[in-house]
Structures are given as structure tokens and as C-alpha cells.
Homo-oligomer: A and B are copies of this chain.
Amino acid sequence: MEQKIGVSTLPRFEAEDSVVSASVAAFKRLCEKENFDLAEIECVVLCTQNPDEGGLPHNSALVHAELGLSEDCACFDIGLGCSGYVYGLSVIQSFMAANGMKKGLFFTCDPYSRILNPEDKNTCLLFGDAASVTLVSDTPRYILSSAKFSTKGAGSEALKKNDNLLEMNGRAVFNFALQDVPKQIKKVLESAELTVDHIDLFLLHQGSRFMLENTIKRAGIPTERAPIKLSETGNTISSSIPLLLEKEIDNLPGVILMSGFGVGLSWATAIYKCVK
């Protein structure tokens, strides 16, 4: 099982952890790396489908309170799963640009431990709890070059909450990843007039080792440029791509392709280019 899923340890929320506390912890780590003035933050977006307080109020407002941000700050939550980082980055960037905002924070935190059925080995051995935060700025290091966002609502049964417990049809999710994700990657490359060879780093949602290996192969991606690193985190939903990005960003990739896919069914692929 470990071989196929690719997970050896799974981080799990303790009783005192929450979406808000994990988001604040992620923010503290960001502050160790980046210099910015808290008073400059004009937008906070948080992506989750397992919020604190049943999502009312939106958890971005609770993070806003914890961080002591300015009142002149837009806050809203986004409900998306494993495609959430790719969607959310574009949502916050376009909203901020349209409204003249300069600095914002995009959080992801989706603690699946809250909905895991302890009798379902397939999901209990797969999902890990995590949070991430990304600083979004009007003077970015990377800019969006091309993206595509897709939905197959008719397939949503494959991954859903039922009586507050997660139900997953692993086979259906696997087939979806293998069939639809490579197709979308190809389309986004074409629309950007690029090929696989132009991409320095492929950040694919870390669903499971087996799913990743097959999707990477089917998409014709060189394995050395598509890291698989979920052994210590598991599948962390919308946090998987930013956790990977944090590990890889120091290598200064020039062109990054991200692809997230899962709950919905929903999938999104985007190419980001380093600003010279």
C-alpha cells in the first residue's frame, strides 16, 4: 500500500489545530522569508471545503482578525478541492488587479482528517492535513502566461461528503486524472505556443504516487522535471502544489506548469513565467 500511495507519514490536525491556526502558522513561516508590511495587505482569499465554524463566518475573515489586518481589506473564501490552488491564484490575482490592490495573501487549508471514515483504509492512508500561504503582489516574480479551467460536474459522485464523511471512488478518480489531465496540459501548452521541453518544472497535484506516475507518463512529461514528493505529507488537497512549489522555488525555474485535479470533478492547468 505504501508503495502505491507513496506515503509513509501523514500530518494530522491535533484537537487544538484549525484552519485558522494552521493558516496563521503558515503565515508566520512566510514572514521569515519575505519582507512586507502587514498594513499593506488589501486582500485575503482562503480555499477550503472543510472550514472552521461551518464556514460562517468565512474563514478568511477569522484569519484577518488573527493577523490584525486593516479594515481596508477584501476577504472571501473559495470552495474548491485539489484544483483549488491553480484556480485560486488566478481568482485572487485577477480580482486584485481589477480593483487596484497591490498585496494580498492566498491561503489553502483543507483538513480532510475532519471527514475521514476511520474504516476506509483507502482514504485514511492517503490524505494529510496542511496549510499554505502565497504572497500575491502587483510586482510578482512569476506571471500567468496561459491557463485552462475545466469541470465535469456529472462525475462529482467520485469524491464527495456524505453525512460528513468522505466517500471516494478511487478508480473513477484515477481514470479521470489519467484521461483528462494530460489532455488539458497539452491544450494549455498549445495555447501558450510551448512544448513540454520549454517547461522547467511541472507541479502536479500530489494525489498518489501511482496516479502521478501514470499521469506524468501519459502526458509525456520527463520524470526528472515532475517531482513526486508526498511521502511525508500525503495528499494535502489544495495545499499539495504550494507545498511542492516551496521546495522547488529556490532552483529558480524559468517556466512552471501547475496542474490541479480532483473534487468536482474539477481540473485546472496554468503556466507561470519568471519575470526577468
Interface positions of A (Cβ within 8 A of B): 43-44, 49-51, 53-66, 69, 71-81, 84, 87, 90-91, 93-95, 97-99, 115, 144, 147-154, 156, 159-162, 164, 166, 263-266, 268
Chain A to chain B contacts (Cβ below 8 Å), 24 pairs? A43-B149, A49-B54, A49-B58, A50-B56, A51-B55, A56-B161, A56-B166, A56-B263, A57-B264, A60-B79, A61-B263, A62-B156, A63-B153, A65-B154, A65-B156, A69-B151, A69-B153, A72-B148, A72-B150, A73-B151, A74-B149, A76-B79, A77-B79, A94-B94
Closest-CB distance, A79 to chain B (whole angstroms): 3
With A and B bound together, what is the CA distance between A265 and B74 in angstroms? 11
In the complex, chain B residues whose CB is within 8 Å of the CB of A152: 71
Given A55-B161, A76-B78, 20 additional A-B pairs, CB 8 A: A49-B54, A49-B57, A51-B79, A54-B161, A55-B79, A56-B115, A56-B159, A58-B264, A60-B79, A61-B264, A61-B266, A62-B153, A66-B153, A69-B153, A73-B149, A74-B150, A76-B84, A94-B94, A94-B97, A99-B149
Copies of this chain in the oligomer? 2
B115 x A160 contact (CB < 8 A): no
With A and B bound together, what is the CA distance between A44 and B72 in angstroms? 28
Nearest residue, chain B, Cβ from A57: B156
With A and B bound together, what is the CA distance between A62 and B79 in angstroms? 13
Nearest residue, chain B, Cβ from A268: B74
In the complex, chain B residues whose CB is within 8 Å of the CB of A148: 72
B76 x A150 contact (CB < 8 A): no
A76 x B71 contact (CB < 8 A): no
Partner of A53, one of B53, B147, B161: B161
In the complex, chain B residues whose CB is within 8 Å of the CB of A76: 78-80, 84, 87, 91, 266
In the complex, chain B residues whose CB is within 8 Å of the CB of A115: 54, 56
Closest-CB distance, A92 to chain B (whole angstroms): 9
With A and B bound together, what is the CA distance between A114 and B115 in angstroms? 20
With A and B bound together, what is the CA distance between A166 and B55 in angstroms? 12
In the complex, chain B residues whose CB is within 8 Å of the CB of A54: 49, 115, 161, 164
Closest-CB distance, A4 to chain B (whole angstroms): 24
Closest-CB distance, A77 to chain B (whole angstroms): 3
B98 x A61 contact (CB < 8 A): no
With A and B bound together, what is the CA distance between A59 and B59 in angstroms? 18
Q: A94-B94, A150-B73 are in contact. Are A56 and B49 (CB under 8 A)?
A: yes
Nearest residue, chain B, Cβ from A72: B150
Partner of A57, one of B53, B91, B160: B160
